[in-house]
Chain A
Amino acid sequence: MYTLSLINNYIKSGVRALTRHKMFLALNFISLSIGMAATILVGAYALHEISYDRDQPNAERTYRIIDHDVKSGRSYSLSSPRAFQQYNKISGVEDHMGLFKADWLIERNIEIDGTDFKLGDVYAGTENMLDFINIDVIQGDLAPALSQPDKIALSRAEAIRFFGSVDVVDQKLLGRKKTWTVAAVYENLPTNSHVHMKAIISGKPFLPYMGKLAYAYLRLSENVDVESVSKSVTQIMADIWQSSMDVSGTVYKLQPLLDIHLDPNLKEEMKIGGAHLVVNLAIVLSLLLVFIASFSSINMSVARAGERATEVGIRKTLGATKSQLISQFLFESVLLYIVSGIIACVIAFFFLADFNLLVGRQLVLEYWSWVGVAIILFVVLLGLVSGLYPAVFISSFKTKRVLSGDLSRGKTSIILRKVVLVLQSSISIGFVVASLSFYQQLNFLQDLSTNYERVNRLQISSILTGKVFYHEHFDETLDQVALEKLQREQSRSLTRAVENLDGVVSSTATDFDFTRSLNAGVRNVTIQGVETFAQSFGYGGVGYDAAKVLGLKLVAGRDFNQQSDWHNREKKTVSIFIPESMVLLAGFDNADDAIGKTAHFAAGPFKKINAIIVGVFKDIKLSSVKDVSYPMIFGCGLSWTQSSSMVFEVEQDTANVRDQIKTLMQDKLQMYPLEVESLESNYELIYQDDSNLSKLILTFSALIVCLTTIGLFGLCAFTAVRRSKEIAIRKVLGASKLSLVVLLAKEQIFINIIGMLLISPAAYLLINRWLSGFNDRIEQSIVIYLLAGVIITCITAATIAVIVNRVMKLKPSRVLRDS
C-alpha cells in the first residue's frame, strides 16, 4: 500500500521531470527506440538464422558429404553413384540418404486440363528421405512417390498452382513423353531449412547420374568420431576415381546439417544460404546502436543531474534513504526505456519489409509470444543497467551542498562523460571509414577488367554436355567414333542455325559458367621441349568462334574455326588457346613463338591428348575476384563434364532476341524448357552478398552517426543551458556567434581528434582483413580516415551551431535576471 503510493509518487515526478524537457524526451525516445528497433530486427534475424534445420530428425547427428579441394579452398557437393552403395559399410554410419536436383533430367513442361505448366525445383531422393527431412504429408502417401518412377509428390503451393486445391491425389500431370501421377501433397517446407523442394520424385531411375548434383547425407551413431568417418569417405572416393581423375588434392568432409545454412555456400545449394559474418556483424552493429543510444541517454541524464539535485536534497531531508532515491531514478530510467521499447516495436514492425529485403529473408515479428517477453526483459534490463550510473550519481549529491546551491560536478563524472564521448566519436568515425572503404572496394570490383565480355552476351546453362559436345559414353557397345562425327556435324548445324537468327551475331558452347568456376582441369602438361609443368591447369571446353563470342583478348594466333579445330577422337587431337601467363612458364620468349606448337596432357577420361596451340589470350578472371584464379586452357570441342552452356553474342539484349534463341534451342536440343540469362546480370549476382553486406554496414553506419549526433545535440543543449549565464555575459561583452560556437565546440573537436586516433589502427586492421579476402583490392589511404574525421567534425560543429543559434536568441538581460 505504502510502496504503491511511493511508486505512484515516483511515476508522477518521473513523468513530469521527463516531460518538462520535451526536447530531452524526444531525443531520448528517438535514439533509444531506433537503437532498440534495430536490435529487435537483428535479433529476429539472428534467431531465424540459427534455427535452420533444427527441426530435422536427429539433426545433430546428421551430416552432408562435401568435396573439398585443398588447393583452391573451394567445396563442392560431389558424390558418385558407386559411393552410395558403400556409405553404409563405414563403421559408425547408421544410415544415408541421397538427394539431387532433377530439373535438368526430366521433362518439365506439363499439361493439366489443357493448361501448360512448368515443373521447377523437382528433387529426386532415396526412399528413406523422411528419416532425414521432416516432411508433413497432408494428402496421400509419400512412399510411392519415392519408389515408383511415374509418381510425384507436390508441395501445397505447387498443388494449388496446378490444381487450385490440395485434394489432388491420383491426378495426372501430362508431359510429352511421360505422365506423372500425384501420390502425395505435403506442407510447404519451412523457410528455415536449407532444403527447398517444390516437388519430389523417386531417385531410383537417376541413380547413375548421382554425381555432381547429388547431395549425400549421412546419419552417424552417437559418439562417433566424425573425422574417421570422413577419412573413410575420402578413401571410398579415391578407390572409385583413382583410374580417371586426380584425387590427391581432394578430401571429403562431413558438414554438420546444422551448419549448412551459415557455412560458405556451395555452388549447388538448393537455395542461397546465410553467412556467419553477416549474422555476427549485424549483431555487433545493433548492439553498438543500443549502446550508443544508452550512452547518450546516460550522458544527458548526468548532464541535467543538477536540475534533479535539489529534489534529491529535499527528498533526503524529508527522510528518503539513498537506496530509495536510487530506486526512484532507476524506476524513471526503466519507464523511459519501456516507452522507447514500445515505440521500437512499432518502428520494427513498419521497417520489417525493408529489413527483409536487406537480409533476403521473410521474417515475421511475433510480439505475442515468448519473443515479446524477451523484448520486455531486454528493455527492462537495459533500463536498469543504463539507469544505474545516473541514479547513483544523482543520489550521491551531498544534501547540504545541493540545498545551498553548489552544483559543481565531481571529477569522476566529467572523466566518464569524456570517455563516453570519445568512445562514441571513435565508433562513428570507424564506421564512416568502413562504409567509405566498402563502397570504394565494391566500385573497384565492378570496374575491374575480367578480360572477357559480358555486355550483350546471353547464356543458356544446364544443357546436357552430350547435346553440344561429344560426350564419352561408358557404354562400350556404341560406336564412339561414329557418335563423335555425328556430334561435330550437329554442332556445325547448330552454329549455322543460331547465326541465321535476327539480332544474333554468333554463338559458342562452353562447358563452364563464367560467373562460377571451371568444372575441369588438366594434368601432366608438357609443351614441346619443356618438361612437365608442376602445376595443373584449369580446362574449359568451348565451341567455334570462342574468342569472338566470349570476347577473349587474343595476343597471338587466331580463333577456333570449323575446318580443323574440333576435337578428333580418332587422332586424339584438339586445338587449344593458352593463357599469356603460360607462355613464360613454357619457356617461350613471346606469345607468337607458342603458336603452332603441340602440347600434351591428360584430361578427364583421356590419357593423352595432342593439343595444337592456335591462340594465346590475356588471362581471364572467372567467378568472383575473391576466388584464387588459375591459368586455364581452352580446348575446342573437347569436354567431359556433365552440364554445359551456350553463349550468344547479340546486337542488343531484347525480349524478342531472347525468345528466338529460346525457341530455336529448345527445338534443336530437345530440352524443355530452357532459360536465357544475361552474363552481365549473372556477374552482378556474384557480388550480391558483398553488396548486401555493404548496404547493411551503410545503413547501420548512418544510424550510428545519426544517434551519436542526437546524443551530442542533447548534451550540448544542456551544456549550453548550464553555461547560459556565461554565454549571456560573453554576448553582452560583444562575443560573435562564431566565437561562441568555437567556445562550445572546442572540447568536442578535441574529442573527435582523440577518437580518430584511437579508432584508426583497429579500423585499419579490420578493413585490411576484409580486403585480404579479395585478390584484387584497393589500397587503404589516409585520405579516407581524414575525410571521416572531417565529416564527423562538420556534423559536430553544425550541431553545436544550431544550439548556439538557439541560445543567442535568448535575451541576455532575461538570462542574467533569471539566474
Chain B
Amino acid sequence: MITLSNLSCVFQTEQVETTAIDSLNLKINKGEFVGIMGPSGSGKSTLLTVLGMLDSPQSGAYFFEDQDIANYSEQQLGELRKQSIGFVFQSFNLVDSLTVYENVELPLLYLKVSKSERAERVNTILERFGLQHRANHAPQQLSGGQQQRVAVARAIIIQPKLLLADEPTGNLDSKSGKDVMDMLTQLNKEGTTVIMVTHSETQIQYCDRVVRLFDGKLVSDDAVVDVKPVKTAEA
C-alpha cells in the first residue's frame, strides 16, 4: 500500500538545518498494524506527518497505492488525504468551538456528503462508540478518554484506508488507553491499515510489526513475534 524509497526530510530553522528523516526505505502492506518507535527527535512524528501528507519530503519517492505522490500539489494531497487518511493525535485536537456531533461530522462536510447521509453516519458511529448522549456537548465538557474516542470516531467516519495515530494514549489513563487501543485493533481487523507512533512497549504488543528509528534512520523493522496475551484475550 505504501512504499517509501530513499525518502529524506530536512527542516530549516533559523541557522540550523535538521535532517529529520534520512534516506528511509519502508514498505507497508494493506491491512497491517505498524508501530513506530524511537527516542525523542528520532523522526517518528515527522515520518507520520509525511505519511499523512501534511509534510512533503525533500527527496525520495512516496508511493501511495502505487502512485508517486512526492510531487503532488498541496491541492492534490488535500484531496487524496481527505478521502483516504484518518488522524488520531496525542492531544486529541478537537475543534473547541464545535460540539461532539459537529466535530465528527466535519470530515464529511469537506467530502460533500449529503445532509441525511451525514446524520446517519455520525449517529451510527457515535452509538457504536457509546457517545450518542454526548453528541451536543462541547469537547471541554468530556473526559480525556471520551475526547479521544470522539477523535477516533472523527478519524474513521470517512472509512479511511489508512489510520495514523500519534501516541493516541499518551494523555490517557490506562483504562481509557486500553479502550482506545481496543478500538484501533478492531478497526485494523475490519481492514484498515493502522500506523501508530508510540513510546510504550506494552502497546507495541497490539501491532503486527514494529519499525524503530534513530536520528531519522531506520534501525530495525521486525515482526512482533511475542505472544500477545492482551490481543488474544480480546479476540
Q: Which residues of A contact B (CB under 8 A)?
A: 1-2, 5-6, 9, 12-13, 16-17, 20, 310-311, 313-322, 324, 399-400, 403-405
Contact = CB atoms under 8 A, between A and B. Distances in A.
Contact of B97 (A2, A20, A317): A20
Contacts of A317: 52, 54, 81, 87, 93
A400 B49 contact: yes
11 contacts: A9-B109, A12-B102, A310-B95, A314-B95, A319-B78, A319-B79, A319-B111, A322-B74, A324-B110, A399-B54, A403-B89
The dominant DSSP class at the A interface is helix
A4 to B, nearest CB: 9
A83 B75 CA distance: 79
A45 B169 CA distance: 64
B46 to A, nearest CB: 8
Nearest to A318: B107
Given A313-B93, A403-B93, A318 B98 contact: no
B55 A12 contact: no
Nearest to B81: A319
Contacts of A16: 97-98
B107 A400 contact: no
B203 interface: no
Kindly name the residue among B54, B81, B95, B114 whose own CB sees the greatest number of chain A CB atoms within 10 A.
B95
Contacts of B78: 316, 319-321
B71 to A, nearest CB: 18
Interface in B81-102: 81-83, 87, 89, 91, 93-98, 102
B115 A319 contact: no
A20 B110 CA distance: 25
Kindly name the residue among B54, B79, B115 whose own CB sees the greatest number of chain A CB atoms within 10 A.
B54
Interface of B: 45-46, 49, 52, 54-55, 74-75, 78-79, 81-83, 87, 89, 91, 93-98, 102, 106-107, 109-112, 114-115, 118, 154
B45 A404 contact: yes
Contacts of A399: 49, 54
B110 A319 contact: yes
Contacts of A6: 109-110
Nearest to B55: A400
A375 to B, nearest CB: 29
Contact of B82 (A12, A20, A311, A319): A319
A314 B93 contact: yes
Contacts of B109: 2, 5-6, 9
A164 to B, nearest CB: 65
Nearest to B151: A314
A512 B53 CA distance: 89
Contacts of B154: 318
Nearest to B89: A403
Contacts of B75: 321
Contact of B95 (A2, A311, A324, A400): A311
Given A5-B109, A317-B52, A399-B54, A13 B95 contact: yes
Nearest to B106: A318
Nearest to B79: A319
Kindly name the residue among B45, B46, B107 whose own CB sees the greatest number of chain A CB atoms within 10 A.
B107
B102 A9 contact: yes
Contacts of B94: 314
Given A5-B115, A399-B54, A315 B95 contact: yes
Contacts of B110: 6, 315, 318-320, 324
Given A5-B115, A318-B106, A319-B82, 13 more contacts: A12-B97, A16-B98, A310-B95, A314-B94, A314-B106, A317-B54, A317-B81, A317-B93, A318-B82, A319-B78, A320-B78, A324-B110, A403-B89
A334 B152 CA distance: 34
A424 B93 CA distance: 37
Contacts of A13: 95, 97-98, 102
A20 B139 CA distance: 14
Contacts of A20: 96-97
A405 B112 CA distance: 29
Nearest to B98: A13
A324 B91 CA distance: 25
A1 B55 CA distance: 32
A468 to B, nearest CB: 82
- 3 nearest CB pairs, A to B: A319-B82, A16-B97, A319-B110
Contacts of B118: 5
Kindly name the residue among A20, A314, A315, A317 whose own CB sees the greatest number of chain B CB atoms within 10 A.
A317
Nearest to A319: B82
A798 B79 CA distance: 51
A644 B95 CA distance: 82
A116 to B, nearest CB: 74
A17 B93 CA distance: 16
A9 B115 contact: no
Nearest to B118: A5
A506 B165 CA distance: 103
Nearest to B107: A318
B127 to A, nearest CB: 21
Kindly name the residue among A16, A20, A314 whose own CB sees the greatest number of chain B CB atoms within 10 A.
A314
A311 B139 CA distance: 13
Contacts of A5: 109, 115, 118
Contacts of A320: 78, 110
Kindly name the residue among B82, B106, B111 whose own CB sees the greatest number of chain A CB atoms within 10 A.
B106
Nearest to A399: B54
Nearest to B93: A314
B40 to A, nearest CB: 12
A790 B75 CA distance: 53
A318 to B, nearest CB: 4
A556 to B, nearest CB: 85
A311 B115 contact: no
Contacts of A310: 93, 95-96
B54 A400 contact: yes
A315 B106 CA distance: 8
A107 B95 CA distance: 82
Nearest to A402: B93
B74 A311 contact: no
A2 B55 CA distance: 28
Contacts of A321: 75, 78
Contact of A17 (B79, B97, B111): B97
B98 A12 contact: yes
Contacts of B89: 403
A399 B166 CA distance: 14
Contacts of B93: 310, 313-314, 317, 403
A405 B107 contact: no
A772 to B, nearest CB: 54
Contacts of A400: 46, 49, 54-55
A318 B157 CA distance: 11
B116 to A, nearest CB: 11
A322 B89 CA distance: 21
Contacts of A404: 45
A405 B82 contact: no
A404 B40 CA distance: 13
Contacts of B82: 318-319
Contacts of B97: 12-13, 16-17, 20, 311
A316 B97 CA distance: 16
B221 to A, nearest CB: 24
Contacts of B102: 9, 12-13
Nearest to A314: B93
Nearest to B138: A16
Contacts of A311: 95-97
